[in-house]
Chains A and B, each alone.
Chain A
Amino acid sequence: MSSTALVAPPARTAPRSWRRTEWFAFVYLFPALLILTVFHIIPVIYALWISLQFGTIRNFRLACTDADTLAKMPEVLGALRGFAACFDNYYRALAAPEFWDALKVTVFYVLGTVPITMVIGLAVAYLLFQKIRGRGVYRTIYFMPHVISTVASAIVWAWVFDPRNGLANHVMQFFGLPIQQWLIEPNGVFKLIGEFFSVDVPDWAEGPSLALVSIMIFSFWQSLGFDVIIFMAGLTNINPELYEAGKIDGANGAQLFRHITIPLLAPTLFFVTVISIIGSFQAFGHIFAMNRMVAQPLGGPLGATRTVSVFMFNTLYGQQRAGYATAIAVLLSLIILVFTLIQFRYARSREENLA
């Protein structure tokens, strides 16, 4: 099989150590397995158990031991009523308008950040890929926001969005546009744009609040460099001969991009999409810091920046309802799991195709 086998054909036996089980492997595995089991695997099972509890962390009690909860369960369930009552935290979460509002905010956040960041990230990566001078410097600058601590840069951006003397309002004034409240503006952007043109936008079409859009602008700034770097790596992996062949066949730049770059970059595009969606569902740090900077309650103004993660943190930290918060975390994890599974499936089918 290997080259040694060609040199010395009789030595077909594997080295001694490969012949039987090497039990000491478990010594090597032990530290990693211990940490992962205690802090990452057992907690998953424990989380499911906690999500069924009422009370605070120091005195949990099962939701179904509560007489009121039991009484709430519909008669139809019969003997199963006691069992069904245990899941009360989930019913509460799904019945809470805040949960659905938070989901709506999160979906807005995903739709407002992921596609724009990806399109512009791809454009920048494509420009940098044109063997341009100083690409190293550009790359360093574009990626810089990604390594700066979230809280520090959120502090800076909250001041950029300051209604009195923020840079954002200076820019608005420069273009002759009305001054905005940015991070403390709960009204939808489409409504605000409508006001500018004296058009009445109905409530259902008001779109994400300006406060959320301000946070999206921050996210765009922070994550653009990440997308650029991954796309550049993807572009570097494309065989340059394909472009040569395309040029010989008389394709122009746009055609090369459409018929060579996009299809060959598809796996990278897919990876970035899923990673960004998952990241958006977990968005927390910058929202936390920026809300605090403008002296709003976490998720404010009026819940305009309350994503699912923020909502979960509020119920845990603000209201001390650990069981309820965990039930929300389970629901959030299920949503994230769907995206992760899609990615895993896709990655595997790609490997099978290549094999």
Chain B
Amino acid sequence: MINHRVWRVNRDRLRNWLVTGSIHSVLLVGAAFMLFPFVWMVFGSLKTYNEATTAGFFPKQWVVANYPEAISVMNGSRPCDFDPANPLEILDKCLLLRYFVNTTLIGGSIVLGVLTTGVLAAYAFARLKFPGRDTLFILLLATLMIPGELTLVPNFVFMVQFPTPESWLATTFKLDPNATIKNWIDTYYAQIIPWMSTVFSIFLFRQFFKSIPSELFDAALMDGASHLRFLWSVVLPLSRPALITSALLTFLGSWNALIWPLLVSNSPQMRPIQVGLVQFITEAGTQVQLLMAGATMTIIPIMIMYLILQKWFVEGIASVGIRG
């Protein structure tokens, strides 16, 4: 009898072990499929041209020099020299760095804009009373149905027609006799301002703000707090998850945007990293090892950011899904 029981326990354990083992092997195959392009990329970036285009998986000797060469090709065959006397000059000389700075600057400004405009509008929709509030909100929600392709050409026409604020001031008030009207093409304005507000974040914030009990608001009001004060010191701290979700998704979206920056940026100095990489494909030509080095260099920063913030990325995406 006792023997029999031991056998049962062992059999269950064996069964469990087999089930977990097979689950893990399936998941590991999947994980390998997810990761192998990155490994292939890093190995490729360390090979010589001949090695990269013939055969073999591992690089025979590690050609780290591919990285500075990729940077220099991106620059039109000039190395990135850092001049300590003129530190900011490197942004004009070193295009890869410039692409990164542009992407961060554009993404950061868009995130700041989306959060500011979104929080203010969402507060009005969630807490303030004005005629037509719900109708207006539903109208805004309806614009979520507009695909980006539809507004592409009209917005491009706007970019051609809008004058930049500084050139407009200079010509209107004759600040500079030689000034001419400059349009938004090839400026940061074109890449930032149209994206500074999204209906999605207004919607997300409003949901969050509505869940904050009105008693809190009444109490704050009794203490003599203004709306802005209440928004800043009570609502925003409570809504941190929504703010972070929206910031991350917005930044990711702007980081990954391609069509729009492709249309509105002409000069190398205005390119974000995605457009810079597209250009680099042509510049590097058949030099695969350089292409892989370039790709590796652009992937590493976002990969680090993702690994640090991955909990927020995952929760953000998940919350979007649940809402649907």
A residues near B, CB below 8 A? 2-4, 15-18, 20-26, 28-29, 31-33, 35-36, 38-44, 46-47, 50, 57-58, 124, 127-128, 130, 132-133, 138-145, 147-153, 155-157, 159-160, 162, 164-165, 167, 170, 221, 224-226, 229-230, 232-234, 237, 267-268, 271-272, 274-275, 278, 281-282, 284-285, 288-289, 292-293, 309, 312-313, 316-317, 322, 325-326, 329-330, 332-333, 336-337, 340-341, 343-344, 347
Contact = CB atoms under 8 A, between A and B. Distances in A.
B54 interface: yes
Contact of A144 (B26, B30, B160, B306): B306
Contacts of A147: 252, 302-303, 306, 313
Nearest to A20: B129
9 contacts: A22-B130, A32-B118, A138-B30, A143-B313, A159-B292, A234-B322, A292-B281, A322-B153, A326-B153
Given A35-B196, A150-B256, A159-B44, A25 B129 contact: yes
Contacts of A336: 145, 147
Contacts of B320: 230
B324 A344 contact: no
B28 to A, nearest CB: 9
Contacts of A325: 153
Given A21-B129, A47-B151, A229-B314, 6 more contacts: A39-B194, A140-B310, A144-B35, A164-B53, A237-B322, A317-B263
Contacts of B259: 284-285, 313
B255 A43 contact: no
Contacts, number: 286
B234 interface: no
A155 B291 contact: yes
A156 B281 contact: no
A142 B33 CA distance: 9
A24 B228 CA distance: 11
B145 A341 contact: yes
B266 interface: no
B90 interface: no
A316 B153 contact: yes
Contacts of B173: none
Q: Which 9 A-B pairs have the closest CB atoms?
A: A271-B324, A230-B321, A233-B318, A43-B154, A32-B121, A25-B128, A43-B151, A35-B197, A39-B194
B150 A44 contact: yes
Contacts of B150: 43-44, 47, 326, 329-330, 332-333
Contacts of A143: 310, 313-314, 317
Contacts of A16: 221
Given A23-B130, A25-B129, A155-B291, A40 B314 contact: no
A341 B145 CA distance: 8
A156 B274 contact: no
Given A142-B31, A151-B258, A18 B129 contact: yes
B34 A329 contact: no
Nearest to A337: B145
B258 A50 contact: no
A151 to B, nearest CB: 4
Interface in B76-116: 113, 116
Interface string B110-154: 000100111011011100111101001000100111111111111
Contacts of A21: 129-131
A153 B38 CA distance: 8
Given A4-B218, A22-B128, A149-B274, A44 B151 contact: yes
Given A35-B194, A285-B256, A25 B215 contact: no
Nearest to A274: B324
Given A148-B302, A155-B281, A156-B41, A124 B30 contact: yes
A219 B303 CA distance: 19
Contacts of A160: 37, 40
Contact of A57 (B151, B157, B193, B295): B157
Interface of B: 20, 23-24, 26-27, 30-31, 33-38, 40-41, 44, 52-55, 57, 113, 116-118, 120-121, 123-125, 128-131, 133, 136, 140, 143-158, 160, 193-197, 199, 202, 214-215, 217-218, 221, 227, 252, 255-256, 258-259, 262-263, 273-274, 277-278, 281-282, 288, 291-292, 294-295, 298-299, 302-303, 306-307, 310, 313-314, 317-322, 324
Nearest to A220: B33
Given A147-B252, A156-B292, A165-B52, A232 B120 contact: no
Contacts of B38: 144, 156
B34 A31 contact: no
B258 A285 contact: yes
Nearest to A51: B153
A144 B34 contact: yes
A333 B131 contact: no
Contacts of B322: 233-234, 237, 268
B148 A282 contact: yes
A232 B318 CA distance: 8
Contact of B31 (A141, A153, A275): A141
A282 B145 contact: no
A15 B221 contact: yes
Contacts of B158: 38-39, 43
A221 B151 CA distance: 29
B187 to A, nearest CB: 15
Contacts of B24: 132
B121 to A, nearest CB: 4
The CB with the most chain A CB atoms within 10 A, among B27, B146, B153, B199, is that of: B153
B153 A50 contact: yes
